[in-house]
Each structure stands twice: as structure tokens, then as C-alpha cells.
Structure 1
Amino acid sequence: MIMFAYVAITLGQSRSFSRLLIDSKITLGLGGVVIVLVSVSASVGFFAYVGVPATLIIIEVIPFLVLAVGVDNIFILVQAYQRSIRGKDESRQEHLGRIVGDVAPSMLLSSVAESCCFFLGSLSDMPAIRAFALYAGFALILDFILQITAFVALFSLDIKRQENNRLDVLCCLQGGKKEVDSSSDGLLFKIMKDVYTPFLLRRWVRAAVMLLFVGWFCLSLAVAPNVEVGLDQELSVPEDSFVTKYFLYMKDFLSVGPPVYFVLRGGMDLSQKDAQNKICASAGCNDDSLVTQLNWASKSSNRTYIAIPPMSWMDDYFSWLEPSSECCNVYPNQTFCPDPSQANGVTDLF
């Protein structure tokens, strides 16, 4: 709503209170926001069809990203028309066509450059970043296509409404017939032209601006190594979600870090006793076996990040094979005894 209100207010160019509801661009601003939502929805639908999964971050972030990046094309087009003077024998359609011909190449180049930047991000090995880049890049392309088609058509209708002195939103009502010079500059344009630009072009101001930004850049480089790389899990879900409380409780009361898996690939015949003794940690295994060394590492908290002793499938298997074990492995008739937690093909993990 805030972005819609901003776009609707700033697109208008009212010069008198009597023409406030005529020169406003509420409907046009709403159309620009709807175009952004349509482009994002089309991007989500396309990649859902081709099988690229979406995440909660994509749904929540991409609409604002496309709106922030793509709304500048709307301002460029509308303000270029407002500052242009229509020719003597030029119709409304010809005037708007001339303006679109002037600004559309710049809109195309900027949209393609922005989309290419996101598509380059899809080369990342991280699935979440790859999906985000694909969704955002395609949404920007669709947003540009809709801007030079649907938005231009809506803009033409809004120009016709304004020239007929009809009220914005309530276009069935007609205002006064007072004519206003449509080529005059707006308040913001006058401020930038008569106040900001002369002040910025003063010699001492230019020097101060350069020193300020050079110092800012050097300071940013100095503190860049202090930025922590990573994404906390609680930041990826809404604040009022029950999952957020779960992550916070895990961090406060079960702060053991992520699980770690040690996998041996090839080179060892685990059917041989010597190979088994190099891995297991039960009685009879080597004193320097893999699991034993990891167990020692878990007891050296000042040297490693391993919090608890490892669990080895091989030791569990040996325990299951032990005749004196309480774990059932065969029935009295020597038939196999399955794990009761895997009844009906369902494994109870908890």
C-alpha cells in the first residue's frame, strides 16, 4: 500500500487545487503496481510448470524487488510525456508513440541488463540462490513487456481522461473546463533544476562530495571483513511463525550446531575384519580407528567443533548381531526378526 500510494502521488502533476482530482494518477499508479504483481505471478507460474521449486523468500521478496527495479520505467515514460510539447497537428496517439519511441530503447537496455545480472546469479551452486535469480530475472523481463504494452495502453486512456477533464478513478464525472499548460514544470522538477543542481555544481560542494564518498568507500572496505557470511534459520521464516520459536529454542537450549556426517568412499572392503577394525569403536577394534579418533575429538572442545561422540552404523550393527543383546534379531525358530519400528513399511525416527 505504501508503494502504491507513493507511485500514485508522484506520477501526478497537479498545479492547482481545482484540478487535483483530474491531474492525479491514482488509476495509472494502481495499474503499474498490478503489472508488477502480474509479472511476478507469471514468473512463479512458469517456473512451477517447469519444475523449479519456489521458497518463501521468493514469494515475499521478489514482488518488492521487481516493483523497486521496474517502477523507474513507469516514471521515465510518464514524465517524458508530461515534459514534452505536442506538435500542432499531432494526435494523442502520435504524441504518445513518439515518446515511447524515445524512451523505450533505454527501458529495454536497462531491463535486459538487470535481468542478465540475475540470470548470472542462477549459475550459483546453491539451489535457493539459483531459484531466486531465475524467478527475479524472468519477472523483470515480463514486467518490461507488460510496461510497453498494457501500461502504454492504460496510459493512453488516462491521457484521454485528463484531456476531457474527467476525474481520476471516477471517470464518469467531469470537472471544470479550465485549461492548464500541460508542458509547465512540476514542483519537484523546479526544485531539482533551480535549487539542488546549482548547489551541487559549486566548486567546494563538488570537492566535499568527492572526499565524502572516497572516505565512505575506504571505511566500507575496512569493515567488510567483519561481515559474517551466512543466513540464520530464524531469519528465513515470518516472525509470528511457530517455526521461529522452534529455531530460537534450539539455539538457546540445544545449541549443538548442524549434524555432521563422515562418509568413506571406496578403497575398503568392509567384509574384511581388518577394514572393520579401522572404522568401528567397539571392543576389539583398533585404538586409532576412525570412530575412536572422532570420539577423542568430541572431548577436546577447545580444539574441535564436535560436540558429542559420533554414532557409527557399524557398531550398531555389531551390537545387533551380538547373541546376548536385548535387540531381537531372530525368532526361536531361527527366522529373521524385523525391526518393530519399521512395521507396515513406516520407520519411526523419534
Structure 2
Amino acid sequence: VIVSTFLLFNYGELETNPINLWVNENSNVFQEKQYYDEHFGPFYRTEQIFVVNETGPVMSYDTMKWWFEVEHHITNNLISDEKISFQDICFKPNGDACVIESYSQYFHGILPDESTWEYELQTCSDTPVMCLPDFQQPLKKNMLFSSDDVLNSNAFVVTLLLDNHTQSANLWEEKLETYLLNITVPEGLRLSFNTEISIERELKGNNDILIICISYFMMFFYASWALKRKWGENRLLLGLTGILIILSSLICASGILSFFSIKSTLIIAEVIPFLILAIGIDNIFLITNEFDRVSAVYKKYTIDQRIILAVQRIAPSIFISMVAQCGCFFIASVVSMPAVHNFALYSAVALLCNFVLQLTTYISILSLYEKKYGVTSLPDEVDDQSNSRIFNGYFNLISKKRKLLGVFASWSLLSLVFIPMIKLGLDQKMAIPQDSYLIDYFNDVYEYLKVGPPVYFVVKDLDLTKKENQKELCGKFTTCNKNSLANVFEMERERSTITEPLANWYDDFMTFLNPELDTCCRVKKGTTETCPPEFSPRLCETCFKDKDWDYDMTGFPEGNDFMKYFKIWIESPSDPCPLGGKAPYSHAVSYNDSTIISSVFRSAHKPLTNQQDFIDAYIDADRVASSFDNLDVFAYSPIYIYFAQYKGMIELTLKLLSSAILFVFITSTLLFGSLSTAAALSLTIIMILIDIGGLMKLFKIDLNAVSLVNLVICVGLSVEFCIHITRAFTMIPKGIKNDRDSRIRHAMLTVGKSVFTGITITKLIGVSILAFAQSQIFQVFYFRMWLALIFVAAIHALIFLPVLLSMIGGTAYIDNLANENTVSSR
């Protein structure tokens, strides 16, 4: 079976596209991205560079001279192995000049004179329309400098846009990355940058496989030592077998799900081995310890008889735990977000495979091992721990029931105060190594970038050849609808994160037709042929010369005339008429010969400096787009696809965890036959989750898809901590008193040690290695969060749950397979 699934595993795929991790293909935000790409082309690739002086103004003539040389080399001389240059793959809205958003373009890349550079730079940044770059779009100073006082800015920003999405662009970006990493920067300056491929390359380099291997080796050595017999004999083979079975369950799960085309992810590949190791090794301890306990009491039984008896005793507890944990993960798999959905499926199937292999393969190997290496005679004395100092102190502690309940209740109430303070988001810096060059870049974005991400409002299926529909979009004219697109956005600029004026192509188009603007819509005199820009004004006349045109929209073209003049406008450059549509709007309107299919209205958010800002920006844009009753419109920005998940994250988290706990309650009620016992178990898990929530705030762990998966894991691992004690409390051997205190004493003496050594300690060993992981995602969301889980779950399972069961625990059932004498063997 393992070999067969391994063959299937080889056909599995690893999902590395971040978009496919956070949104489902059927989600609105994904469909909107697809629509935008199909009608306006994929969003251009962005290369961004910061040059920073942290102690004073970044601008000086020497700095300017150095940067002009660097920029010229990048945009003209930097050649990839395919002989591709920036000029071959850059974004050219006019068809000839590349978009280079840099202050150098105020001067068309030609170094100004040393005596006048300050005046010219200040003048151009104050009135950018007077210093248009070759691509004919004004460069506002907030796009280029960290301050409105450009001469005293601490940083300048350069952005290069690529309009090529093939391997050629990747290869050129690799050359750019290498060049910038090795560039010599003038003293006192610092350079940071990001290319389109940077994050993916850094993520691939952020490999924590070594950490996983070390964790497995440490678990092997601990298991081999902890599984030793009471008289000191180590069982290395059993420890190794346990680890190999866990690895085999991972292979089986991957093979099965690969067969159904369910892709793995980097998080799945690096986290599930820890999860299955943490749960799987627990069962190895439970099975082996139960066999040792049975062997100590039933010395005359054959090994096969002891194995059967041990399995009969412990398998129901392991089965209940498996059902509860798999159920939690299968519930989580209903979430459409692929990162959560796939993780939950891989976890559930891996746990199921682990359960089957442990109760078949491991049992078989344990039987063979004991037959070959087992001792022929067992010691007559059994280590009686029921009266040991440690256990007496422990039972004395949990006898203080009301005080302990007060402490735990106060802890949970305090945690409830902190839970609403948990922030949403996942900082990109956490996903990359802490020594990555991108850390400086992200810090500079938050510190020095004074323009927010663009937002595009896409209007679909609106027949703009009709004037009543035109009034739904316009803003410059007196008869525009009060709640038109442009008017609503003007109001939104005062109260939302969308602050930039709306680039309204319709307003510019109609103003372009104004006959008083003799440099705009021109035709050759006496004809309908468009006048080229270089033609003398004496040879041309305005195309609306003899037509009505007024700000109340009188005379505005409709029907076929609308498309006739639109085609003139969309091909007109920005020089001599800045209202020409080719440069700013050639990629903003999707049309055919008879109508406008859809169009884009561009704005931008305020500078966004943290994750909550990005989330608020998406929520604002989505709210605005949904407010138009008469328009089919949606908001698009390349960042939205990563932040759409947070719109319903809190509700999703509550529903998911509530469903998981409800499933645990129903399952435990059916399997234990007691509502009160199931309620005690479920209440303990709820309190663990509440306390984990409080620690998330204290440990600065934000709520996102990664931590949501972890919270689902928390439910599963909490079940693992608590379920065995609960069953031992419910199923008691003959001879044990049927009062709650005696039953909880029996439960803690029989399985309490396994919960501590086989569950708590094993998890601590596995998690402690994560402190040395390269990425903060591992350090924060797995080391800190799992460490908190182990600490909280262990305390609740070993102290709070016994107290609660001793007070409200339900009916006990006699376990005919057990014997009261076996209690002492624990």
C-alpha cells in the first residue's frame, strides 16, 4: 500500500502561486481578476528601487549624477542571457516610450547642469505637466520622493514597469537583481529594491527542511529512550519504526490526494510533518506503554495474547481521538480558501493513514520485536506509583477544586479581554528569511513611499452610446446624475482610504471634443480626416467646430457618432493636447466597432503602512463598488486578492471553531454515553481556545489563514491531550470505586503519565526546534503558537479537566478487559 501511494505521490504537484493559495477559483475576487486580465491585459510587472539617506537629504548633484548613470545602465545596457533588454519588455502606453517613473524623466534622462538642477527639479516636481516624460504621463512628486519638499527628502523612488509576462521577463529580472545586489552605492546612501520575481525566489530559499529533519531525529532519540522498559532496556527499533510509520502516513496521504489532483503547498509540506509527528508519536507511546502495563500484570500470557489485550484496551481511546481530530479537519475542509481547505484535507487523510498503519504495521512489528528481543522472565515487583511523593503532591493539588476552578475561570475571563485586540493580517516580511534583502525594501515602502496602491473600478455592460448612461459616469458636467460614479468618488475621497482624484476617461473624452480647445480634437480643414499632431494649426480645425457643445451635455455625441469620436480620442497623444486618450487610457477601455464593452476608472489609496490599512483599503473599495444600484461595477487592485480573505475572517473563525467543538461534543457524547462527561471535555477545549486567543495577542500573533489553520489544529491537539484521560475516567476496571474522585485517580494513574511523557514532552521537543527556523512564519505562527498550545493544553488536561470531571463527570462503565491490579503498574 505504501509503495503504491508513493508512486502516486510522484505525480503530485506543489502549488507555489500565492494567488491560488488565498482565493478559490469560484470566488468573486478571483473572477474579477480574471475579467480584468482578459479585457485590459494582465497587470504590469513592477520593479521598484529606493535610494535612501537616513540622516539627511538624499538629493545632491553627485547623487543625481550617480543615479543617472545607474538608471541608464539598467534601462539601456542591462542585457539578459537571451539578449533581452528593458526596452524590449517594458510597458509602452504610447507604443514607443517605456514607462520609467523616476525624477530623471523630468529631464528625459539627460543630466541637467549643476548650476540649475535644483531649480529645475523643484519646478518640475511642483508642475509635472510642464515636464512630461517621453511616455506623456505627468510624474507627481509623491510618486517619486518621500517628502513634498523634494530637495530635502530622505529617499527617492524609481519604478519600472514591464508589460511582458514570459520567461524573458524573468531572466531579465534575474539580471537586474544580480546587478542591484552588487552595485556600489555612494557613501551615506542605502539602496533597497524588489523585482516581480524577488518574493518567490526568496521564499524558495527560505527552506526549513533541515529543521524538520532535526526534529524527527530528536523525536527518534527521545522515543527510543522513553519507550525503554522499566528496568532500563532501550528499544531503538521501536522508536525508529514509529518515526518511519509517521513518514509513511505522510506519503500515503500525499499519494491519495495527489490522485484526486489536490495540490500540496509549502505550508502543508513543512507543517504537516510536525503535526503528524506530534500526534503519531503519542499513539506509539500509548500502545507501547499499554503493552508494557499488560505484560507486567499478565505475565503468564503469551506475547500475542498480551498484544491483543493491550490493543483491546487502548485502541478505543486512540479511535475516539482519531475520529474527533479527523472530524475537526474535515469540517475545516469545507472552507473554500485553498490554503485552509487543502491543509485540512491533507491533515485529516494523514491522521487516518497514521491510525491504520499504527494499529496494523506497528502492532505487527511490536509483536515480532517482543518475540525476538523480549525478556523471557518479567520482574516480580511492579513499580507502584500510586503512593509516590510526586503523585501524592499532584492529587493534593487537584483536591483544591474550587480554588483551581477560580484560577482557570479568571484566566479565561482575562483572555476574553485580550481576544478582541487580536489584529488581522500577515506581514510579507514574515514569509522570508530575516537576512533577506527584501526586509529593507518592505521597511522602506512603509517609511518612504507616499503613494498608495492603485485601485481600478471596472464598469461592465453599460451602453455609453446613450446619453442617460453617460450621465451615470460623468462628473464635470452640470447634468451628471447626483450619484454618478465620479460624484460618489469625489465624496469618498473625504471619508475613505481612496484619496486620489478619479481618472475619468469619459470626462476627458468629452472635454477633448470642446471646440474651444483648438489643440485637441482636430481634423483637416474641409474634411473629416484626423489632423496629425505635427500639422500646423492653419491646416486644421476643431472637429466640433459647427456642432453644439455645452457643459449641460448639449450636443454630446450618441449612437454611431459616439464611437466615431471615441476612436479619434483614444488614438490621440498627450502632446499637444493633454486630454488625448492614447497615453493614459489605451489600456483602460475595452471596445469594439459599435460599443464600449467595459472600462476602467483609476484612483489610488492613501499610503498604506500596515496590514490593517491594506484590509481597510479592500473593504472600502468593495463597499464603494457595491453602492451603485444602476451600474455593474467592481473594484480591482493587484493587492485585493490577498486581503479579500479578511473580510469575513472573524465570522469564519468563529463558525469553524464552533463547528469543530460541536462535532467533538456530539462524538464524545455518543462514544462515552454521557452528556456531562462530553460537556466537561468540550468546555475544557473551549477554555483552551480562549486562553490561546489571549496569548495570541500577548505573543503578537495576528489572525490570518495560517493562524486559522493553527486554531483548527489547536482543537485537534486539545482532543489528543484530553480524550484519553476522559475515557480512562469513563471506562474503569472492576474493583475501582465508582465515585468521581476514585475514577479520576484511576485515570491519572493509568494514562496521566502517557499524557505527560508521550504527548506533552514529545510535542515540546518537536516544537522547540522551530525556534531556529529561518522564517518568522515558523517562529511566530508555529513555535510561539504551538508552544502556547502545549503549555495551555497540558495544564488544562492535567489539572483543570480532572477537577471538572471529579465535579460534573458522568456515568462510569465497567471495562471487563481491565483489572484493578493494573493501576499500580502506572
TM-score (norm 2): 0.33
Return the match for 2:497 from 294, 305, 320. 305
What residue number does 2:573 align with? Answer: 325
Q: CA 1:322/1:133 → structure 2, altered by over 3 Å: closer, same or farther?
A: closer
Question: Bigger CA drift: 225-234 or 142-151?
Answer: 225-234
Alpha-carbon spacing, 1:154–1:212, altered in 2? closer, same or farther (3 Å): same
Tell me which residue corresponds to 2:250: 40
What's 2:229 paired with? 13
Measured at CA, do residues 275 and 213 of structure 1 come closer, stay the same or move farther in structure 2, by a change above 3 Å? same
Alignment partner of 1:235 is 2:430: yes
Secondary structure in 1 matching 2:336: coil
**Which structure carries more relative contact order (alpha carbon 8 Å, separation 6+)?**
2
Judging changes above 3 Å, is the alpha-carbon distance between structure 1 residues 57 and 161 closer, same or farther for their aligned structure 2 residues?
A: same
1:90 counterpart = 2:263? no
Alignment match, 2:326:
115
Paired residue for 2:411, among 208, 216, 226?
216
Report whether the alignment pairs 1:153 with 2:369: no
Render the CA deviation track for 1:168-189: whole Å, top value 9, x for unaligned.
xxxxxxxxxxx66287338899
Describe the superposition over 1:156-176 as per-residue Cα deviations: whole angstroms up to 9, x where unpaired. Answer: 2332354259xxxxxxxxxxx
Q: Which moved more, 1:218-227 or 1:60-69?
A: 60-69
Decide which of 175, 188, 200 is 2:397's aligned counterpart: 200
Q: Deviations over 1:323-348 (max 9, x none)?
A: 5425499xxxxxx9xxxxxxxxxxxx
For residues 145 and 139 of structure 1, the distance between their equivalents in structure 2, rounded to whole angstroms, comes to: 10
Change (3 A) 1:88 1:25: closer
Distance 1:320 1:181 in 2: 100
> In terms of mean alpha carbon deviation, does 129-138 or 248-257 score higher?
248-257
- The corresponding residue for 2:354 is 143
Q: 1:208 to 1:270 in 2, by over 3 A?
A: same
Deviations 1:12-31 (A, max 9, x none): 2343xxxx4xx223332232
Q: Do 1:44 and 1:135's aligned partners in 2 also have CA atoms closer than 8 Å?
A: yes
| CA distance in structure 1 between the aligned counterparts of 2:450 and 2:220, rounded to whole angstroms | 43
Question: What is the SS of the residue equivalent to 1:262?
Answer: strand
Structure 2 counterparts to residues 248-263 of structure 1, below 5 A: 248-254=443-449, 260-263=455-458
Contact 1:115 1:141 in 2 (8 A): yes
Taking a change above 3 Å as real, the CA distance of residues 88 and 127 of structure 1, as seen in their structure-2 partners, is closer
Work out the CA distance in 2 between the residues paired with 1:316 and 1:236.
Answer: 43
2:552 corresponds in structure 1 to none
> Structure 2: which amino acid aligns with 1:43?
A
Which of 264, 272, 281 aligns to 1:62? It is 272
CA contact (8 A) 1:83 1:183 kept: no
Which segment is superposed worse, 124-133 or 141-150? 124-133
Q: Name the SS of the counterpart of 1:83 in structure 2.
A: helix
Q: Give the corresponding residue for 1:181.
A: 379
Deviation at 1:230, TM superposition (A): 3.1
Distance 1:238 1:292, change over 3 A: farther
Match in the other structure for 1:294: 489
Provide the residue aligned with 1:342 in structure 2: none
Alpha-carbon separation, structure 1, partners of 2:386 and 2:453: 54
Question: Matched residues in 2 for 1:324 and 1:257: separation?
Answer: 29
Measured after TM superposition, the shift of residue 34 of structure 1 is: 2.4
- SS in structure 1 at match of 2:271: helix
Q: In terms of mean alpha carbon deviation, does 60-69 or 133-142 score higher?
A: 60-69
1:78 to partner: Cα distance = 1.1
8 Å contact from structure 1 (residues 278, 290) kept in 2? yes
Please identify, of 207-216 and 249-258, the stretch whose mean Cα deviation from structure 2 is larger: 249-258
Secondary structure of the structure 1 residue equivalent to 2:457: coil
- The Cα offsets for residues 295-349 of structure 1, whole Å up to 9 and x where unpaired, read as 5534x3xx211254455676799597345425499xxxxxx9xxxxxxxxxxxx9
Flag the 1:217–1:7 CA change in 2: closer, same or farther, 3 A.
Answer: same
* Counterpart secondary structure, 1:13: coil
Structure 2 partner of 1:125: 336
How far apart, CA to CA, are the structure 1 residues paired with 2:358 and 2:325? 15
CA distance in 2, matches of 1:189, 1:51: 56
Contact 1:8–1:29 at 8 Å: present in 2 too? Answer: yes
Cα distance in 2, alignment partners of residues 135 and 38 from structure 1: 13
| Cα shift readout 1:274-300 (whole Å, capped 9, x = no counterpart) | 3234225688994854145425534x3
- Contiguous gaps of at least 5 residues in structure 2: 1-214, 510-565, 575-581, 587-592, 594-637, 639-826
Aligned counterparts of 2:278 and 2:446: Cα–Cα separation in 1:
35
Query: Of 342, 345, 370, which aligns to 1:134?
Result: 345
Structure 1 Cα separation of the partners of residues 381 and 479 of structure 2: 90
Q: What's the C-alpha RMSD, in Å, of the aligned pairs?
A: 3.8
* C-alpha deviation, 1:216, in angstroms: 0.4
Tell whether 2:472 aligns with 1:278.
yes
Moved more, 23-32 or 212-221: 23-32
Q: Which amino acid aligns with 1:93?
A: D
Shifted more, 215-224 versus 87-96: the winner is: 87-96
- State how far apart, in whole Å, the 2-side matches of 1:87 and 1:311 are: 85
Deviates more, 1:183-192 or 1:244-253: 183-192
How far residue 200 of structure 1 moved from its aligned partner, in angstroms, is 2.2
Quick one: percent identity of the two aligned structures? 33
**Counterparts of 2:505 and 2:245, CA distance in 1:** 56
Structure 2 match to 1:339: none
Shift of the alpha carbon at 1:251?
4.0
Q: Deviations over 1:100-154 (max 9, x none)?
A: 1221122112101100111101112322211111111111111111111121122
Compared CA separation, residues 158 and 56, structure 1 to 2 (3 A): same
Question: Structure 1 residue 91: deviation in Å?
Answer: 1.5
Q: Is the 8 A contact 1:14 1:24 kept in 2?
A: no
Does structure 2 retain, via aligned residues, the 8 Å contact 1:86–1:95? no
SS in 1 for 2:498: coil
- Normalising to structure 1: TM-score of the pair? 0.71
Residues 82, 182 of structure 1: 8 Å contact kept: no
Aligned to 2:538: none
Q: Does 1:80 align with 2:290?
A: yes
Change (3 A) 1:251 1:272: same
Q: Do the aligned partners of 2:385 and 2:391 also contact (CA within 8 Å) in 1?
A: no
Distance in structure 2 (CA, Å) of the matches to 1:271 and 1:151: 75
Change (3 A) 1:192 1:79: farther
Tell me, in whole angstroms, the C-alpha distance in 2 between the residues paired with 1:312 and 1:71. 63
Task: Provide closer, same or farther for how the CA distance between residues 89 and 264 of structure 1 changes in structure 2, counting only shifts above 3 A.
Answer: same
Name the counterpart of 2:238.
28
> When you count strand as a share of all residues, which structure comes out higher?
2
Q: Per the alignment, in what secondary structure is the counterpart of residue 181 of structure 1?
A: coil
